[in-house]
Structure 1
C-alpha cells in the first residue's frame, strides 16, 4: 500500500498529500492536507483517526442533495469547520440515470472527459471558495472531499498542487492513486449496468485531468494567469500557501 494512503473502514480513497515535491525543491508537509471520498460512513475508529491528526477544516465538494442524502459523520466534539462548496459537474445529473444494460465504458469516458474540460470554466468560483477556506487562519490540517474523492476532489487538489508549483506530471501521478482504492459507486447506478461501465465510472484516467489542463491552456496564457484571473489567487495568497504547506 502507498504510505500516503490513510486506511479507513468507512472511506476507501483517503490520503495525505504530504511529500509531493514542488518545483522549487521543497515538499508538501505531512499531516496538513488530505483528500478523501465520502465521510458519511466513517466508523468510530475512523473518527478517532481523524481526531488524532487534528483535522480542522473539511471542504465538501458534494452538491446539497448529496450532503442531505449522506451527511458527513465527523468526530464528535471536534471543532471542524465544514465548508459546503458543492456542485454537480455539467451533465452529471443526466449521466447516472442514463446508464443501462447497454452502456459501455467509452460512453462513460466521454462524459467524464467533458466534466473535466468544464471544471476550470464552470466552477472556478467554487474552487476559489475552497482556497479561501484553506487559507483561513488556523485552517490546517484540512481535508478536501466529494462522493468518490476522484473527480471534483481530483481537480480541486490539482489546483492546490498547481498553485504550489508542483509539475503536471507529479499532479497526475497523485491523481492516479485514486485507482488503488476506488469508492464503490454501485449504489448510484441503475440495476443491470454492466461492470465495465461501472468500473469506468469508479476509475480515473490521466487524460481526464489532462482535459482540464488543455482547457486552461486554451483560455488562459499560463497557469499563473488562470489562478489569478479565474480563481482570484493573488501573488501574496500563493506565497502564503507555499509558506504554510511547503518545507
Structure 2
C-alpha cells in the first residue's frame, strides 16, 4: 500500500498522504473481515499529513490548492525549529515557502514548556547546570544535545510519545480542535518530518473515529517509505542532537504502546475528557470525517 504516499509526487514536500484514502484502501484490501466491512468509510481528502512545507515549490503549492483544495495547515513545530529552518533557507538563498499565503496556517507549539522542563528535570544536577549555562550563552543546539544524549535517546520513541501524551496536553487539544471547524477542511498537519508529533495527532483522531488498530498502524508505518528520500539528512539531524538512527523510524509498535498507555489510564475517551475534548466534540469529529 506504500504507493498511496505522494501521488502525484511533490518536489519539496515529503511524507505526504491523504489519511482517509490510506485507511479506506487498507479497509478494502481486508475485505474478508466481516466486522471491518460494517465500518463506515472515512471521507477522503479531508485529513492530510506531511513533513514540513518550507521547501514546497510553486508547483507543489499549486497541487496542494488545486488538486487537494488545501485550506488549513497545522504546524506543530517549535518556534526555534521554524526560525532555524528560515535561517537555513536564507543561507541557501531560498525565498519563503511558495504556499505561505495560499492557505491558513495554525501554529501549535506541541512541545511546550511542561514537556521541556520534564526532560530537563531528568538530567543529573551537573548536566542540568551545564544545560542552563549553554542556554544562557545562546548555544541552544549544544544544550539540546545534552538532553538528547542523556534523556531522549534512552527513552526512545515509546517513552517520548508517552511523555507527549502527559506533558503536551494543551498543544494536543489545540490541534484537535482545529478539526472541529467544518470550514477548515481540508486540513493538513505537519511537524518537521511528519512522523512523530503529526503521527500522534493522527493516531488520536483515528482512535476517536474507532478505526481498528491494525489500520492505524498501517498508516503510521507509511512514514518509513514517505521519508526514504530524506533518510540521510534525517540521520544527520538526529545524530546532531544526541539521538540515534532508530529515531528516524516509524515502527508499528509505537501505535500499540500509545494505545496501551491510554487504555491503562482508563481509555481514549477518559484521556480526551480530561484533555477537554469531550464526548460532544468527539461526536462532531465523527460526523465530519465519517461517511
TM-score by length of 1: 0.83
1:84 aligned to 2:107? yes
Deviates more, 1:46-55 or 1:67-76: 67-76
Does the 8 A contact of 1:15 with 1:34 survive in 2? yes
Give the greater-gyration-radius structure (CA).
2
Q: Which runs of 5+ in 2 are unaligned?
A: 28-35, 87-95, 121-140
Q: Which runs of 5+ in 1 are unaligned?
A: none
Provide the residue aligned with 1:4 in structure 2. Answer: 4
1:45 aligned to 2:59? yes
Evaluate the alpha carbon distance shift between residue 186 and residue 113 of structure 1 in structure 2; reply closer, same or farther with a 3 A threshold.
same
Provide the residue aligned with 1:26 in structure 2. Answer: 40
Distance in 1 (alpha carbons) for counterparts of 2:142 and 2:193 = 18
Distance in 2 (alpha carbons) for counterparts of 1:12 and 1:228 = 33
Distance in 2 (alpha carbons) for counterparts of 1:94 and 1:206 = 31
1:206 aligned to 2:252? yes
2:72 alignment partner, one of 57, 64, 69 = 57
Evaluate the alpha carbon distance shift between residue 143 and residue 155 of structure 1 in structure 2; reply closer, same or farther with a 3 A threshold.
same
1:218 aligned to 2:242? no
Distance in 2 (alpha carbons) for counterparts of 1:84 and 1:224 = 25
- Which deviations, in whole Å up to 9, do the C-alpha atoms of 1:65-122 show, x marking residues without a partner? 11122257252652x221111233654978962599xx9xxx8474322101112111
TM-score by length of 2: 0.71
Deviates more, 1:147-156 or 1:120-129: 120-129
Secondary structure, counterpart of 2:4 in structure 1: coil
The structure whose residues are more often helix, as a share, is 2
RMSD after superposition = 2.9
Distance in 1 (alpha carbons) for counterparts of 2:274 and 2:279 = 11
1:177 aligned to 2:201? no
Does the 8 A contact of 2:51 with 2:195 survive in 1? yes
Secondary structure, counterpart of 2:106 in structure 1: strand
Secondary structure, counterpart of 1:35 in structure 2: strand
Distance in 1 (alpha carbons) for counterparts of 2:181 and 2:142 = 35
Shift in Å at residue 210 of structure 1?
A: 2.6
Distance in 2 (alpha carbons) for counterparts of 1:99 and 1:229 = 29
Distance in 1 (alpha carbons) for counterparts of 2:268 and 2:161 = 16
